[in-house]
Structure 1
Amino acid sequence: MGKKITVSVIKADVGGFVGHSSVHPALLEKARGMLSGSSLLIDSYVGYVGDDIDLIMTHEQGRNNGEVHQLAWDIFIACTEIARKLKLYGAGQDLLADAFSGNVKGMGPGVAEMEFEERKSEPIIVFMADKTEPGAWNLPLYKMFADPFNTAGLVIDPNMHDGFLFEVRDLIENKRITFACPEEIYDMLVFIGAPGRYCIKRIFHRQSGDIAAASSTQRLNLMAGRYVGKDDPVCIVRCQSGMPAVGEALEPFAQPHLVSGWMRGSHSGPLMPVSMEQATPSRFDGPPRVVALGFQLAEGKLIGPRDFFADPAFDPARQKANELANYLRTLGPFEPHRLHLDEMEYTTMPQVSKKLKDRFEKLR
């Protein structure tokens, strides 16, 4: 048995520049400085998408390590102080606690982590999204690991032919269930087709049992009991050699799908694949964005990144996303552009309902 490497991606929105559109360079500089000075880590990279800072870290401490999570928390606190001095919008909005308590889960920041033994070649992709929720990964992950029309390896690669195990979380009841695919695909789709409640958390290779993908499933409004911003999830996917090829992992984003989020987290919009440079949502605070950073791991070192969606091959996807955005915006406050009512409970909806409840007359 060789040593195991842990890849941790921890993100937070601690202040937008300007509005919710981007991250101020001073915050990124602070985060890079604090990560590079840490003896806990093998390597690190600071990414960003929209107004979110994404800390990509490799180490040998394992998942849910208190010291690694403490480091991320300290970085977000330090960046929040800078954000407040610069009067950035929503400074510290993802930090729901006053003090660190051993693990950032449940405290606001989004977390995706996986621990594994490095293969001879270990390509990974870190997906980072803004202006959407964790369920945004359901359709792409399903396509990557269960749809042969997307992933040819499920048919022609003997190392993938037996399929994958999908761990699905119920974010309302705080439960989990594992589906064996392909034979339980239809059962699984009943649940993951409702991404506001059921999210794919982890995926495992059926033959080896190795972790293949991990996502963040934190829902800020469920933790805070009020609307504090959309969750802006992250996801890690291992590629090649029994896992989807890099191109198969990227392919789902060639057709932008509709996700919840966008303006005030209360609208449906297309998930637009963009380079990190273009990850600056502005139109109606959107449309929602996704960035894909590729790394080769070498003894835990992050060789990269490759900014995959900078490729002009994704230009048609961006064009389609803009066309979908144009259509949805014409609907204004009407569903399905505005989210359905059970997703609106953290907006003005409860106050308006309370104010008008006595004016509703019972029909005889």
Structure 2
Amino acid sequence: MSKITFSVIKADIGGFVGHSSVHPDLLKVAEKYLGEKGKDLLIDFKVSHVGDDINLIMTHKKGVDCEEVHKLAWDTFLECTRLAREYKLYGAGQDLLSDSFSGNIKGMGPGVAEMEFEERPSEPVIVFMADKTEPGAWNLPLYKMFADPFNTIGLIIDPKMHDGFIFEVMDTVENKLMKFSSPEEIYDLLVFLGAFNRYAVKAVYNKKGEPAAASSTQRMNLMAGRYVGKDDPVMIVRCQNGFPAVGEALEPFANPHLVSGWMRGSHFGPLMPVSLQDATPTRFDGPPRVVALGFQLSNGKLIGPQDFFADKGFDRARQKALEIADYMRSHGPFEPHRLPLDEMEYTTLPRVMEKLSQKNL
């Protein structure tokens, strides 16, 4: 059986209103364009959003880093950008760092998570989409899913998971990859995962080399050399039958951990799990949000989605996130709510520092 490629490509090409959401007309443009231009290329697709980001969820048989698929996504975002500019939406086209496509969408602004695998008799997949944060936001959840038996009991009682997993970690500053085997190298792994502003999990594999998870690790500020918004990462996680159960993959988000981003990409705040309906961050442009869409794959067809975080089982997580948000907001412009100065290098703060340089700061 030929392999299926699962691609999720996202971009912020204009917020409605401010940074809170995507105008419904842009989603319609994306659906129409993908439906017409991708009919001979894609097996199936879904268009979704979280906050002000458009997310293209696509299946095909062209493999990862396929130029045709990446160009299709790029052209879709360009088509949406035209309408965003007509509507004068905020930050229209901000994630598109070039005027022309150069063969691969990576490094051009949009975030990309992809994996290629043979579809199992039952293939549950979860697409996680976040807004107002950066790729390191997935570090703690992925560690808990694939390395923490207190979260994932399958690591102990499922013989298909008992050998553990391989974590591929990206140094987003030096653009280097490292691999760690769990459980053998957990302590070494945690040295890097804890520094989530620089290191991000790019992929997770089982010990046979089969892909289990993939995430976007592109950092907009490093690509643009200036502040152009946070990266708003996406992630794909395969579930069941040798991988974490659906409930094990969702469980890390029951405790809203602190991530960087939020207002002007310059603050720490809780990552709040929400339904699609509530994926519209407005309070101080936040708090940061995460949505989880579940699909069953059937010969590459996307059966779904199921909006997992609409479950009332996450109500207490949302309440806790709001309490954390109150506490962090009470610090105003003081750390630890505001990011440390070395993390503010690609915000608008350097312009202020330059202006004040005459005061011998």
Pairwise same-fold verdict (TM > 0.5): yes
1:119 aligns with 2:123: no
Describe the superposition over 1:139-193 as per-residue Cα deviations: whole angstroms up to 9, x where unpaired: 0000000000000000110100000000000011111110000010000100110
Q: Which amino acid aligns with 1:41?
A: L
Q: 2:256: which partner in 1?
A: 256
Letter of the 1:191 counterpart: F
Residue in 2 that maps onto 1:313:
313
RMSD in angstroms over aligned alpha carbons?
0.9
Q: Distance in 2 between matches of 1:134 and 1:179?
A: 18
Correspondence 1:60-71 to 2 at 5 A: 60-71=61-72
Matched ranges for 1:28-107 at <5 A: 28-37=27-36, 38=38, 39-107=40-108
Q: Secondary structure at the match of 1:41?
A: coil
Gaps of 5+ in 1: none
Kindly provide the CA deviation profile for residues 103-154 of structure 1, in whole angstroms up to 9, marking residues without a partner as x: 1000000000000000110000000000000000000000000000000000
How far off its partner does 1:34 sit? Answer: 1.2
CA offset at residue 360 of structure 1? 4.2
Aligned counterpart, 2:270: 270
Matches within 5 A, 1:144-159: 144-159=145-160
Contiguous gaps of at least 5 residues in structure 2? none
Return the alpha-carbon distance in structure 2 between the equivalents of residues 185 and 169 of structure 1: 16
Give the partner amino acid of 1:273.
Answer: P
Pairing of 1:186-205 with structure 2 (within 5 A): 186-205=187-206
SS at structure 2 position matched to 1:28? helix
Alpha-carbon distance change, 348 to 59 in structure 1, aligned in 2, over 3 angstroms: closer
Percent of pairs with identical residues: 73
Q: Runs of 4+ in structure 1 displaced over 6 angstroms?
A: none
User: Counterparts of 1:353 and 1:211 in 2: how far apart (Å)?
Assistant: 45
Cα offset, 1:359, TM superposition? 4.0
Letter in 2 for 1:114: M
Deviations 1:273-326 (A, max 9, x none): 000111000000000000000000000000000000000000000000000000
| Partner of residue 183, structure 1 | 184
TM-score normalized with structure 2 length? 0.98
Quick check: 2:112–2:216 contact (8 Å CA) kept in 1?
Answer: yes
